[in-house]
Structure 1
Amino acid sequence: MTHPPDDSVDELLSAARTAIGDELRSLTYFTEDEVTQLYLRSDLSRTADLVGFAENERQGFRSQSLYADTQLGDYQFTVRVFENGYLTRVIANDHGIWVTTDSMEMDRFEELASALASILRSFDPA
């Protein structure tokens, strides 16, 4: 199973906790072929369909090239809004992270995405 190095898992979780605190619900790492949940808050059920989520979030790999060289600049991250919280997807190279959170102020997502992207860029998913 593909997953980031153990010290990177700690770094990713620490960055997410620093950026969003107790609103963090889950943290999931993914590549084109694998998906690994790195963290799930203790008050939540493990019933989420990670494979289904991963299939949707993998579209971000294609978005990176689709949006390349547009006047908008480079693709940075995606935020999905749900009734009970948010999902933020960050992709760097051939791997990504999605984070689910409780409701929170929108400006905190940029800090979250920036911290996670920096860590993802620092290690090779292979």
Structure 2
Amino acid sequence: MSQSTNNHTDELLSAARTATGDELRSLTYFTEDDIEQLYLRSDLSRTADLLGFAENERNGFHAQSLYADSQLGDYLFTVRVFENGYLTRVIANDHGVWVTTDSMEMDRFEELASALAAILRSFDPA
């Protein structure tokens, strides 16, 4: 991970924590070539397959161009629903984050995605 991203870890974590509160499970930063888990709640196991998740979430880089100029407007974020929680992916330019949470109200996902996208747009991951 680049020095620029390291400088923004606290900012990303603060935005995620503000939007999700105690429901925050994890926060992971990724690019096409890199992945780093920035936060994992202490009651969770570190056995998650981050590379497998990253491979799937990197498809979002292609979604940005795939959905460009659609009548739906620009692609904003993705929420995946699982039995034990949610995964929210936010991508800005050539980097992104995914956040896992416990169950929470749907409007909080938009708040989460908006805050994280603004931070991602503010720095250059190179």
Shorter-chain TM-score bucket reads over 0.9
Structure 2, unaligned stretches of length 5 or more? none
Within 1, Cα distance between the matches of 2:118 and 2:32?
A: 20
Structure 1, unaligned stretches of length 5 or more? none
Secondary structure in structure 2 of the residue aligned to 1:5: helix
Quick one: which amino acid aligns to residue 103 of structure 2?
S
Aligned match of 2:22: 22
Secondary structure in structure 2 of the residue aligned to 1:42: coil
Is 2:54 the counterpart of 1:54? yes
RMSD of aligned alpha carbons: 1.0
Moved runs in structure 1, 4+ residues, more than 2 A? 1-7
Is 2:124 the counterpart of 1:96? no
Offset of residue 42 of structure 1: 0.3
Aligned match of 2:113: 113
Q: 1:10-62 CA deviation, whole Å, 9 max, x = no partner? A: 00000001001000000000000111000000000000000000000000000
Within 2, Cα distance between the matches of 1:84 and 1:33?
A: 29
Aligned match of 1:123: 123
Count of aligned pairs: 126
Matches of residues 1-40 of structure 1 in structure 2 within 5 Å? 1-2=1-2, 4-40=4-40
Within 1, Cα distance between the matches of 2:119 and 2:45?
A: 27
TM-score, normalised with respect to structure 1: 0.97
1:68–1:107 distance in 2 versus 1, CA, 3 Å: same
Residues 3 and 36, structure 1, Cα contact 8 Å, conserved in 2: no
Secondary structure in structure 1 of the residue aligned to 2:36: strand
Percent pairwise identity:
84
